Each structure stands twice: as C-alpha cells, then as structure tokens.
Amino acid sequence: MARTNNYSLQAQQAKAHFTTYDQNRLIAKLGLHADETYLYPVLLSETYRIHREIGNICRKTEAGWVDANSFEEVMTLLDLVCDSREDRFLSGRWKNMTDFGLMFHRNLLENKVDPWAEKFQADPEGFRRACLALGGKPFSLGDIAYSIELFDGLSILVQLWFGEEEFPASLRLLWDENALMYIKYETMYFAKALLLQKIEALM
C-alpha cells in the first residue's frame, strides 16, 4: 500500500509541477495543438490531452477519451512536455540504454533472464504486430527490431534477440545519443515500462 501511495504522490507532484509552467511557451516549444482547456501532445502514436489547470491526463480512443493517469503515463508525458530542452535535436546515432546510466543501473537493466524477452520470444508474430500497431519501423539489428517513436521525433529502438540453449532471450532498448535533451535518465525507466506494457496489451 505504501508503495502505491508513493507512486500516486509522485504523479500528483508531477501534475502540480506542470501547472507552474508557462503553457504558451510549452505549446510553442513543441508545436502542440491546444485550446483553452487542454494541451494535446502525441505519445507512442496516440493523442493525449492534458488539463491545463490540474494536469489530469486522458488518451483518445475510438470510443472517446479514456483515463490515462497511470504512473508511467503521467511521469513520462509530463517530463517530455515540461522539461525537454528548447534546443533539442537528434544525433541520428543509437546508444544502448545501459550506457546512459551508472554501473548500478546497468546491472538492474542486464538481468540474466528477462521475462519480457521470454514473453515476446514466445509470440514473435504478436510482438511484430504490436510494434507495427505502435507505428514501429522495422530495423535490421537483432532477430526482431523496431524503431518506435516515443515523442516529438524521439524514438526507441527495441531489439529482441532469441535465446538459445546457453543464452536466454534478451531485449535491448536503444535511444538516440541526444535523448537526454528530451527526457531525464530516470524517466527512461518509466517510458520503457509504458512501451512494454503497450506492446503486451496489443499482442
């Protein structure tokens, strides 16, 4: 319960932080569609709306707007909207997510058995379909790989390597070398979790 409450507290703090920004500047910085009530950013090929007064988030579906206040969505989207740099630009060079962090974080990302990799390897066609549904573009690294746009041109390269008898399946995420101009290192974890959740839901 304490952990859940802590997540909720962090999300509420992020929303409160959003309301302190000059939103006209955010609109100009990102070229966002907006009206008097909402900003309308796009995250993982889906349109969201952020309430300008309270930071509440919804996602557009065929059935209409639905609640999108999961911890991962709030933390990822508000970080990208609020704190991406105005002078951001892509380098065009990929960098492994493990190389952005300290050795402690690298160890967390390099578990010997990755349950996500095992899940995706068990249904490779489902994995392919899900990545394509998210606007993924096939890439020639790994057994299956797709470049999937996260936000404002910034993509994540998802590489699935099939396991063998001696080696388990592995999943690698690569970002543009200049990704930290768009997103904080800590927020990469939230974006990763959100992306994998969406892939799983679409499989």
pLDDT tens-digit profile of 143-167? 999 999 999 999 999 999 999 878 8
Check if the beta carbon of residue 115 is closer than 8 Å to that of residue 184.
no
- Global pTM value: 0.90
Query: What is the chain's mean pLDDT, rounded?
Result: 93
DSSP 16-27: HHHTTS-HHHHH
pLDDT digits (tens, 9 = 90+) for 109-154: 555 679 999 999 999 999 999 999 999 999 988 899 999 999 999 9
Q: Can you tell me the mean pLDDT for 193-202?
A: 97
What would you report as the CA-atom Rg of the chain, rounded to the nearest whole angstrom? 17
